[in-house]
């Protein structure tokens, strides 16, 4: 039996909504999910497991109709869904009165329930959120009678406020596979037994690395997962990079360095740069100009002006510049103290230059 495990689609979200590429990221979420549906059809997957947060917020009827259409295009694949903390079931939820395609089962109960697929001899268990938080460890003590059925557990959580669980307790549970959601980074917690699918598309700059879904196979005779492979499908990644500068680096050169780094990795990705090293004290990097050329979500200038403080002190032993250096400079300066020293000296030197002009 072949299954696809995904979660945390967050349909309807606009990542980086304040950036020029925000609308494109919203479209990427939908297109990537559509691609997962097509993969399910092409690979003839028996099960599609969506372990919570299919929607970013309470879905409207139009959202339900859109995803339901996609599910209707894979009638040979049984789709099982649970609600996560973002798309939790509410009293006024459109989910409560919506009619899904025949191949879709939404386990909406807040307590553990299941659906049995006789032709697969497989029973899928799960429960949905009805509140924003669930602090109870609802999955640690699941007790089920002996059975020859293949059993799968769908679970959304893993932190203190969202269904905390004990890995060892879950490992001892009678499930062939535990399909986890809520954590957006893909991770296998127990080989061929338990995994976070992660979000198919990264949703903010902290979610670096590859994103996609898991595709696995279960031997229904033994009930064991015989293969579990991650497939990367995201259209863009958030990539953090460090650029080192020297006192010879100019704005134009820095712009060229950043452009080269982006071209190497792909202009479709989204970047976060840290500028480090020593720079010419007379150079001030134009961060707005750099950010405007590419998909750069943040540039942090952590470079330091290369002042010769000993020479400056020798030149200004008895004026404000000398007193400032003497008061702040020490061998074990913290980053904050260093910045205070650099910015203070820069301001004092600029003031001195202005006063010396005719």
Mean pLDDT of the chain: 90
pLDDT at 307: 64
Non-local CB neighbours of 159 within 8 Å, separated by 6+ positions: 182, 183
pLDDT of residue 250 exceeding 80: yes
Same domain, yes or no, for 273 and 325? yes
Mean pLDDT for the stretch of residues 36-44 = 97
pLDDT at 325: 67
Taking CA atoms, 181 is separated from 54, 124, 200, 220, in Å, by 10, 15, 11, 24
Same domain, yes or no, for 109 and 248? no
Same domain, yes or no, for 215 and 259? no
Residue 141: which pLDDT band, with cuts at 50, 70 and 90? Answer: confident
Structure tokens at 84: 């996560």
Same domain, yes or no, for 325 and 190? no
- Of residues 211 and 345, the one with the higher pLDDT is 211
Residue 352: which pLDDT band, with cuts at 50, 70 and 90? Answer: low
Pick from 192, 217, 232: which residue ends a domain?
Answer: 232
Mean pLDDT for the stretch of residues 188-202 = 97
Helix (H) / strand (E) element for 300: namely strand 296-301
Same domain, yes or no, for 12 and 119? yes
Same domain, yes or no, for 272 and 295? yes
User: pTM for the complete prediction?
Assistant: 0.86
pLDDT at 86: 96
Separation between Cα atoms, residue 47 and residue 65, nearest integer Å: 20
Pick from 177, 209, 232: which residue ends a domain?
Answer: 232
Mean pLDDT for the stretch of residues 101-112 = 97
Same domain, yes or no, for 134 and 38? yes
Query: Which of 291-295, 327-331, 335-339 is predicted with the least confidence, judged by mean pLDDT?
Result: 327-331
Pick from 232, 258, 285: which residue ends a domain?
Answer: 232
We report the CATH number of the domain holding residue 166 as 3.60.21.10
pLDDT of residue 354 exceeding 50: no
Same domain, yes or no, for 7 and 156? yes
pLDDT of residue 70 exceeding 90: yes
Same domain, yes or no, for 228 and 269? no
Residue 176: which pLDDT band, with cuts at 50, 70 and 90? Answer: very high
Same domain, yes or no, for 206 and 145? yes
The proportion of the chain whose per-residue pLDDT surpasses 70, expressed as a percent, equals 88
pLDDT at 304: 81
pLDDT at 288: 82
Same domain, yes or no, for 246 and 210? no
Measured at the CA of 309, the angle between CA 306 and CA 313, to 5 degrees, comes to 150
Number of domains in the chain: 2
Query: Which of 38-42, 213-217, 354-358 is predicted with the least confidence, judged by mean pLDDT?
Result: 354-358
pLDDT at 336: 72
Same domain, yes or no, for 253 and 319? yes
pLDDT of residue 9 exceeding 60: yes
* Residue ranges making up the domain that contains 279: 238-356
pLDDT at 345: 64
pLDDT of residue 306 exceeding 80: no
pLDDT of residue 175 exceeding 70: yes
- Encode pLDDT of 259-295 as tens digits: 999 999 999 999 999 999 988 877 888 888 777 778 9
Please enumerate, as own/partner, the contacts of 92-99 that have beta carbons within 8 Å and a separation of 24 or more.
Answer: 93/58, 93/59, 94/58, 94/59, 94/60, 94/61, 94/64, 95/59, 95/64, 98/61, 98/64, 98/68
Separation between Cα atoms, residue 145 and residue 101, nearest integer Å: 31
């Amino acid at each position: 039996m072949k299954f696809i495990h995904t979660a945390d689609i967050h349909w309807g979200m606009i990542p980086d909504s304040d950036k020029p590429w925000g609308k494109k990221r919203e479209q990427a979420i939908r297109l990537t999910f559509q691609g997962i549906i097509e993969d399910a059809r092409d690979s003839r997957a028996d099960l599609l497991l969506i372990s919570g947060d299919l929607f970013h917020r309470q879905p409207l009827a139009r959202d339900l109709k859109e995803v339901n259409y996609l599910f209707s295009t894979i009638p040979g694949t049984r789709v099982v869904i649970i609600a996560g903390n973002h798309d939790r079931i509410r009293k006024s939820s459109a989910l409560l009165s919506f009619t899904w395609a025949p191949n879709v089962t939404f386990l909406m109960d807040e307590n553990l329930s299941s659906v049995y697929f006789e032709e697969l001899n497989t029973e899928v268990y799960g429960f949905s959120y009805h509140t924003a938080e669930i602090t109870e460890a609802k999955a640690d003590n699941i007790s089920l009678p002996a059975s020859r059925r293949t059993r799968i557990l769908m679970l959304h959580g893993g932190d203190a406020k969202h269904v905390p669980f004990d890995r060892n307790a879950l490992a001892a549970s009678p499930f062939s596979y535990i399909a986890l959601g809520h954590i957006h980074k893909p991770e296998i917690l127990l080989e061929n037994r338990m995994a976070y699918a992660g979000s198919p598309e990264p949703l903010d700059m902290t979610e670096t690395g590859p994103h996609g879904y898991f595709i696995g196979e279960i031997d229904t005779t033994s009930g064991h997962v015989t293969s579990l492979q991650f497939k990367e499908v995201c259209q863009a990644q958030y990539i953090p990079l460090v650029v080192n500068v020297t006192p010879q680096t100019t704005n134009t050169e820095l712009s060229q360095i950043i452009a080269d780094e982006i071209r190497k990795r792909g202009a479709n990705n989204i970047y976060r740069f840290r500028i480090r090293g020593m720079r010419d004290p007379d150079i001030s990097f134009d961060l707005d100009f750099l950010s405007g050329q590419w998909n750069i979500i943040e540039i942090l200038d952590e470079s330091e002006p290369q002042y010769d403080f000993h020479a400056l002190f020798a030149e200004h032993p008895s004026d404000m510049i000398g007193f400032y250096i003497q008061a702040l400079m020490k061998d074990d300066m913290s980053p904050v103290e260093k910045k205070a020293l650099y910015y203070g000296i820069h301001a004092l030197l600029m003031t001195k230059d202005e006063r010396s002009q005719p």
